[in-house]
């Protein structure tokens, strides 16, 4: 495909099929012109001066052609809002979604974009408009969606430390309410585009992280201020845009020339500086494995009335769980006081781990039992161990050797080669 394709074209969005003739687009991110509310400065524009039916028909035409040039794995993100006409609220986002459903676009998500710096329109019987809809459509069920890439895992909060079982170990899933302030006029640089509603860079970046990788093709048929295209370039994606207003195109090119290198550098620094997600996931799973032992110790003692556990050795394994919804297999070697109560302990443990909270940990426990220190010690291959109490498993109490385990205190219950040392106050 010729490189001259990957640019902004001074072309009507309704003629995009003359520019892109094969399905090569990975994602389209766009905000269609407002219906009959804003004059974008061109005689052939969509929206201004049209009837509502004509407006929807033109959008159908545009997104039919976008559908044709999109890969089967591709997605479409449309930022769109309701409006008022003759005292009535017109549900444009939903009329639009129903309209393009006939093309084949499948509505997958409805996201609320909470925007703070909005145009202060206010009329009788109308609240200030502080949000818009972000609609996600897919071309097929096999669409690209990298949810792990936008999980919040950059900072370990105290809730993750105390309750690791409650959260996805890959990070917190974003909610369907996004809060991104719109750029104020002038924030893109002196003399740049004075566009009616420029999209925030952070929101565009989130969309591109979700649905593209470096080298993918990003399309915006209503390029306007060029926010989508410039962010695509910053993030090492190829871009194609169409825009009727030549002044917008000129200003966009000037902005990209002046800021592109710096923005690309910022993207590279951010990407390279993130805490590796696998490292975060491993930490959460370690916290789960240790806390799991503490919980079943408490449950056996309080619920089953069996104060039989003396020590628990916790060991992560590299085995794959038998059930797909489980995350890890953890070996728990348990030293009990009375061998004659082993069967009773096993039955109680089976019942305890089969229900919440332990059933929610994503752990497949591999239980082994010993009734004396020699047998227990022989089942431990690690040379350096960490000691955890029956109250705290997010920070170890001390390091110890195998020979030390016979002299531990009554509340010193859990030992493991796992080293977790987190101060709760550091993550508030």
pLDDT in tens, 51-69: 889 889 999 999 999 999 9
CA 313, CA 413: separation in Å to the nearest integer? 9
- pLDDT score at 280: 81
CA 130, CA 117: separation in Å to the nearest integer? 8
pLDDT in tens, 18-33: 999 999 999 999 999 8
- Confidence band of 187 (pLDDT split at 50, 70, 90): very low
Which of 273, 304, 320 terminates a domain? The answer is: 273
Q: What is the mean pLDDT of residues 35-62?
A: 73
- pLDDT score at 87: 79
Count CB-CB contacts under 10 A for residue 63: 26
Q: What is the mean pLDDT of residues 74-80?
A: 97
The 70-80 sheet, strands edge to edge: 8-9, 238-242, 217-220, 25-30, 70-80, 131-138, 106-114, 177-179
- pLDDT score at 116: 65
Which of 256, 273, 290 terminates a domain? The answer is: 273
Same domain, 365 and 247: no
- pLDDT score at 30: 96
Same domain, 283 and 400: yes
Same domain, 162 and 214: yes
Is 0.85 topped by the overall pTM? no
Same domain, 85 and 204: yes
Same domain, 24 and 116: yes
Same domain, 328 and 208: no
Q: Which of 403, 396, 352 is nearest to 376 (CA)?
A: 403
Residue whose entry in the numeric block shows the structure tokens 């020979």: 403
- Please write down the long-range contacts of 232-237, taking CB distance under 8 Å and 24 or more positions apart: 232/204, 232/208, 233/260, 233/263, 233/264, 234/260, 234/263, 234/264, 234/266, 234/267, 235/205, 235/208, 235/267, 236/264, 236/267, 237/26, 237/208, 237/212
Same domain, 234 and 322: no
Same domain, 252 and 289: no
pLDDT over 60 at 120, yes or no:
no
- Confidence band of 195 (pLDDT split at 50, 70, 90): very low
CA 400, CA 386: separation in Å to the nearest integer? 6
Count the domains in the chain. 2
Which of 246, 273, 300 terminates a domain? The answer is: 273
Whether 211 contacts 139, CB under 8 Å:
no
Q: Which of 127, 32, 23, 106 is nearest to 65 (CA)?
A: 23
Same domain, 244 and 315: no
Same domain, 219 and 336: no
CATH of the domain at 90: 3.40.50.150
Q: What is the mean pLDDT of residues 406-421?
A: 93
CA 394, CA 420: separation in Å to the nearest integer? 6
CA 377, 382, 384, 385 torsion-angle sign: negative
Q: Please list, in sequence order, all residues whose beta carbon lies within 8 angstroms of the beta carbon of residue 239, skipping any fewer than 6 positions away.
A: 6, 7, 8, 217, 218, 219, 220, 228, 229, 232, 233
Q: What is the mean pLDDT of residues 310-333?
A: 96
Give the domain range for residue 34: 3-273
Same domain, 265 and 337: no
Highest mean pLDDT among 119-128, 368-377, 401-410: 368-377
The pair of three-digit structure tokens given for residue 338, joined into one six-digit string: 């009375």
Q: Give, in order, the Cα–Cα distances in Å from 271 to each of 75, 133, 149, 154.
A: 23, 28, 11, 12
Count CB-CB contacts under 10 A for residue 212: 24
Same domain, 363 and 264: no
CA 317, CA 308: separation in Å to the nearest integer? 25
pLDDT in tens, 137-154: 999 999 999 988 887 665
pLDDT in tens, 364-403: 999 999 999 999 999 999 889 999 999 999 999 999 998 8
CA 425, CA 106: separation in Å to the nearest integer? 46
Q: What is the mean pLDDT of residues 103-128?
A: 74
Q: Which of 79, 141, 145 is nearest to 111 (CA)?
A: 79
């Amino acid at each position: 495909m010729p490189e001259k394709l990957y640019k902004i074209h001074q072309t009507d969005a309704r003629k995009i099929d003359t520019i892109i003739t094969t399905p090569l687009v990975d994602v389209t991110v766009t905000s269609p012109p407002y219906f009959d509310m804003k004059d974008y400065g061109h005689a052939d524009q969509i929206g201004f001066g049209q009837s509502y039916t004509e407006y929807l028909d033109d959008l159908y035409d545009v997104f039919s052609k976008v559908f044709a040039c999109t890969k089967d794995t591709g997605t479409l993100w449309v930022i769109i809002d309701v409006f008022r006409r003759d005292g009535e609220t017109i549900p444009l986002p939903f009329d639009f979604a129903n309209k393009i459903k006939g093309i084949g676009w499948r509505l997958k998500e409805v996201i609320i974009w909470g925007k703070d710096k909005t145009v202060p329109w206010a009329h009788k019987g109308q609240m200030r408009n502080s949000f818009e809809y972000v609609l996600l459509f897919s071309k097929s069920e096999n669409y690209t969606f990298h949810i792990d890439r936008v999980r919040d895992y950059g900072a370990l909060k105290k809730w993750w430390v105390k309750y690791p079982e409650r959260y996805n170990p890959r990070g917190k899933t974003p909610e369907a309410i996004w809060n991104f302030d719109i750029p104020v006029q002038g924030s893109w640089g002196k003399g740049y585009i004075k566009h009616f509603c420029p999209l925030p860079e952070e929101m565009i970046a989130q969309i591109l992280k979700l649905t593209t990788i470096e080298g993918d093709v990003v399309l915006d048929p209503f390029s306007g201020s060029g926010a989508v295209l410039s962010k695509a370039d910053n993030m090492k994606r190829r871009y194609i845009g169409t825009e009727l207003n030549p002044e917008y195109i000129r200003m966009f090119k000037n902005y990209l020339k002046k800021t592109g290198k710096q923005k690309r550098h910022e993207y590279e620094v951010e990407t390279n500086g993130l805490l590796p997600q696998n490292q975060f996931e491993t930490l959460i799973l370690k916290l789960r494995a240790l806390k799991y032992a503490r919980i079943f110790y408490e449950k056996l003692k309080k619920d089953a009335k069996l104060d039989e556990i003396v020590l628990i050795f916790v060991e992560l394994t590299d085995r794959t769980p038998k059930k797909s919804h489980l995350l890890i297999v953890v070996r728990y070697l348990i030293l009990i006081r009375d061998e004659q109560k082993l069967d009773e302990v096993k039955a109680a443990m089976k019942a305890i781990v089969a229900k919440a909270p332990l059933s929610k940990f994503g752990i497949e426990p591999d239980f082994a039992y010993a009734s004396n220190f020699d047998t227990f010690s022989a089942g431990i291959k690690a040379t350096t161990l960490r000691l955890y109490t029956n109250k705290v498993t997010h920070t170890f109490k001390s390091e110890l050797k195998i020979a030390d385990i016979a002299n531990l205190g009554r509340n010193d219950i859990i030992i493991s080669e796992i080293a977790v040392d987190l101060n709760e106050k550091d993550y508030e």
